[in-house]
Amino acid sequence: MPDGREQLARTRLVRILERHGIANARTLEQKISDAGPYNQRIHPHVLTGVRNGLVKEGQIVRIRRQNAPWFHLPETPDATVQARLGELLPVFRALQHGDMGSRVGQCLEIAIYRALLRQNTLDHLGSFTNLGDHDDSRLYSKEEPPQSISGRRLSGNQRLDFLVRHPEAGWAGIEAKNVREWLYPDREGIAELLGKAVALDCVPVLVGRRIPFVTFKVLSTCGVVFHQTYNQLLPEADRELADKARDKRLLGYHDIRVGNEPDDRLLKFIGTNLPGVLPEARERFDEYKDLVGDFADRTMDYAEFAARVRRRSQGVNEDSDWEPPDDYG
């Protein structure tokens, strides 16, 4: 029998698919994980498991369009499914088309850069050199931060989005993730950030739309600093597309915001919060860097990493109990 959260997830999935005919995974997360009464929100790792179970049981049908999974109820008429796909796929396709993904990524990077320019505590490396030359319908030129610090070097073509230097804590590396997905700790992008931070011995800083509690719980113990934007930024030049993506009868990405200006929360994070927490984060990062490095290069899997972090933080023997934490399997 499903527990209370799983039963609620089942109920909400069915109701939403009844109303919308068909939806992709990100729309379902937006409507169930990000929206609705707070006590009825189901985090994506629970929602995904329940959704996959319903697919296996035949109570939800999964199809693939535009290289992404879409879901509908088996009793939904095919004519309805096709009509809805005719409305949804052009918007979904436009969000993936051409250089759109890169321009969306730049939106958050530019917002962080503008915030860095407005503070006076952190020296920073990484800049955009032609923001005044054209609008955001084209990519801007970025001067990337260096690949090496004091003889420590990133491999291949790896870069962090920005490097900042704190007068006490030393270097920190900022990574911007302007994506729809919630940023769980075992995702490849997280491991890449951690690996780069270990290689350069800089405190890792992650800025993203949604960061679940388990990511905070496990990685903040290790000195990782987080900021949730609660918005995905899209280019100002694509305002019409942003309006369609936000439309509750289309993709329903209601938190989209256009432009690359930092909001008050990001300005406060970069200008006040980040300089304030970096010294303590540096101490934690130094303490757990060995575990972070082994997890980042996949020498250690997530279950063992999370268990060792938990047990080290409790001051007990690390060499046992390699089970994943209760709040994230």
Length of the chain: 329
The reported pLDDT for the residue numbered 325 is 52
How many angstroms separate the CA atoms of 318 and 329, rounded? 19
pLDDT tens sequence for the chain (329 residues)? 457 889 999 999 999 999 999 999 999 999 999 987 778 899 999 999 999 999 999 999 999 999 999 999 999 999 999 999 999 999 999 999 999 999 999 999 999 999 999 999 999 999 999 999 999 999 999 999 999 999 999 999 999 999 999 999 999 999 999 999 999 998 989 999 999 999 999 999 999 999 999 999 999 999 999 999 999 999 999 999 999 999 999 999 999 999 999 999 999 999 999 999 999 999 999 999 999 999 999 999 999 999 999 999 999 988 865 555 555 44
- The answer on 170 and 37 residing in a single domain is no
Tell me the residue range of the domain where 38 lies: 4-75
Eight-state DSSP code of residue 316: S
The reported pLDDT for the residue numbered 40 is 84
* Four-point Cα dihedral 127, 128, 131, 132, nearest 10: 70
CATH at 24: 1.10.10.10
The reported pLDDT for the residue numbered 329 is 41
The reported pLDDT for the residue numbered 324 is 52
- Amino acid occupying residue 221: T
How many angstroms separate the CA atoms of 37 and 125, rounded? 42
The reported pLDDT for the residue numbered 1 is 41
The reported pLDDT for the residue numbered 217 is 95
Q: Look at residue 319 and tell me if it is in a domain.
A: no
How many angstroms separate the CA atoms of 131 and 262, rounded? 14
Predicted structure pTM score: 0.94
- The answer on 281 and 233 residing in a single domain is yes
- The answer on 268 and 204 residing in a single domain is yes
- The answer on 289 and 247 residing in a single domain is yes
- The answer on 194 and 269 residing in a single domain is yes
Q: Look at residue 290 and tell me if it is in a domain.
A: yes
Q: Is the Cβ–Cβ distance between 232 and 105 less than 8 Å?
A: no
The reported pLDDT for the residue numbered 207 is 98
Q: Is the Cβ–Cβ distance between 124 and 162 less than 8 Å?
A: yes
The reported pLDDT for the residue numbered 318 is 84
- The answer on 182 and 40 residing in a single domain is no
- The answer on 151 and 298 residing in a single domain is yes
Eight-state DSSP code of residue 271: I
Tell me how many domains the chain contains.
Answer: 2
Q: Look at residue 321 and tell me if it is in a domain.
A: no
Burial letters for 77-99: b for 16+ Cβ neighbours within 10 Å, e otherwise?
eeeebeebbeebbebbeebeeee
Tokens 């931070």 correspond to: 197
Q: Look at residue 94 and tell me if it is in a domain.
A: no
